[in-house]
Amino acid sequence: MLDTRKVTVHLPQELLDTAMEETGKGVTETIREGLKRLAHERAYKGLLALQGKVKPKYSLETLRYDRE
């Protein structure tokens, strides 16, 4: 099992209610999902920074041919 850490946070009730309504989950799962989304957003921004800087090894035609 992953290491966990118990924390106490002070959150605006309206913000928490809105987030829980969006996820349809309880407090802990909603907070976990929010933290995961932040991590995904950071990774996505990193990929966007590489846009146009990485040259693909294979052409689109080669990849399509490989599927057949």
On whether residue 38 sits in a domain, the answer given is yes
Domains in the chain: how many in total?
A: 1
On whether residue 61 sits in a domain, the answer given is yes
pLDDT tens digits along 15-57: 999 999 999 999 999 999 999 999 999 999 999 999 889 888 8
On whether residue 27 sits in a domain, the answer given is yes
On whether residue 22 sits in a domain, the answer given is yes
Predicted TM-score (pTM) of the model is 0.71
On whether residue 4 sits in a domain, the answer given is no
Quote the pLDDT of residue 23.
96
On whether residue 8 sits in a domain, the answer given is no
Domain that holds residue 51: 13-67
Question: Tokens 């309880």, residue?
Answer: 26
Three-point CA angle 9, 14, 20, nearest 5°? 75
The 8-class DSSP code of residue 24 comes to T
- 24 dihedral zone (left: phi>0; alpha: psi -120 to 50; beta): left
pLDDT tens digits along 5-24: 999 999 999 999 999 999 99
On whether residue 49 sits in a domain, the answer given is yes
